[in-house]
Amino acid sequence: MILGEKTMDGFKKSVRKARTLIVPFGTIEAHGSHLPLNTDTLIIREVVKKTAERNDRVFMAPPLQYGVCTSTAQHPGTIGIRAGTLRHIAKDIVRDGFRQDLRNFVLVSGHGGGLHMAALKEAAEDLVGELPGLKIAAFSIYEVLGKELEEIAETKNDSHAGEMETSLVLYLAPRLVNGRAKEEYPEFPRPMVVKDKVKYWKGAVWGDPGKASVEKGERLFNLMVSRLEGVVTMLEKS
C-alpha cells in the first residue's frame, strides 16, 4: 500500500491490519556520465513499491530523495544533506508514524555510504530505546544480498554506478541510461580525508558498467525484493 495515496479514512481502516511502514532513502548524487542523479532513489523506490504491492500489511512511505554524500560531494549534480539532518528526519518520521499506531519500521537505503548508513543506524538505536514496543530495522539493501549477489555480478569490488546499478537502471528505467561510462576504481589515499575527491575519482564510477545487462538487473531486483520481504517478515514475527 502506498501511504501517500491513502485518504485519512483509508489509512485509519488499513492501519488496523497494517502496522509496518517501509521508508526508502535515496540520494541526488553523481553516478558516472551514464546514470541519472536519482539512481539510488529510483532503485530503492521500485524495490519498496513492489514489496508493498505484494503485502497488504505493509505501507510504503514516500522516498526521501536526499542523503549524506561525501565521496561524490564535488562531482556535478550531487546535492546532499548532513548526517545530523538525516538522523533528525528519520527520527521524526518514525516518531510520528508510531503516534499513528504503526509499530514496525524499515529504514532501507539505496545508498550505502558510510556516514549515511551510520546516521540511519544511530537514529534507529536511539528510537528503539525511546519508543516502547517499537520494532525497527535500518540497513542498505546491498547489505542483505549475500552470496547470491556474487552469482549475478561478474565484477569484483563492484559498487557505485558499476555493473550492478547500471543493470538495475537498465531493467527499471532504460530510457535514463546514457551509454556506458568507463570502468573505474578510485584509489583514495586512506586513511587521509581529502577535500578534492574528484582528483582521485574523476568519473564517479566504481566498477565496470560495460558488464551490465537487463537480465542481471531483473535478477538483482528480484533478489532485493525477496530480501526486503524477509526483513519485513522477521520484524512482524519477532
Average pLDDT, the chain: 96
Section 156-164 average pLDDT: 94
Q: 44-82, pLDDT tens digit by residue?
A: 999 999 999 999 999 999 999 999 999 999 999 999 999
Q: What is the pLDDT of residue 192?
A: 86
Instruction: Pick the closest to residue 217 from 178, 162, 179, 157 (CA basis).
Output: 162
* pLDDT value of position 66: 98
Reported pTM: 0.96
Answer whether 22's CB lies under 8 Å from 52's CB: yes
Residue range 112-147, pLDDT digits in tens:
999 999 999 999 999 999 999 999 999 999 999 999
Instruction: Look at the alpha carbons of 110, 111, 112, 116 in this order and tell me if their dihedral is positive or negative.
Output: negative
Rounded average pLDDT over 209-236 = 97
| Residue 157 binned pLDDT confidence (cut-offs 50, 70, 90) | confident
Q: Are 30 and 75 in contact (CB under 8 A)?
A: yes
User: pLDDT at position 105, please?
Assistant: 98
Instruction: Kindly indicate the confidence band of residue 24, based on its pLDDT and cuts at 50, 70 and 90.
Output: very high
pLDDT at 94 over 90: yes
3-237 maps to CATH 3.40.50.300 = no
- For 80, the 3-state DSSP assignment is coil
pLDDT in tens, 225-238: 999 999 999 999 98
Tell me how far apart the alpha carbons of residues 69 and 66 are, in angstroms, rounded to a whole number.
9
Domain spans in the chain, listed from the N-terminal domain onward:
3-237
Q: pLDDT at residue 189 above 90?
A: no
What is the tens place of the pLDDT at every residue in 76-85? 999 999 999 9
H helices present in the chain, as ranges: 8-14, 39-53, 83-99, 114-130, 148-152, 163-172, 214-237
User: Which pLDDT tens digit goes with each residue over 195-209?
Assistant: 898 998 999 999 999
* Per-residue pLDDT tens over the stretch 99-109: 999 999 999 99
pLDDT at 195: 87
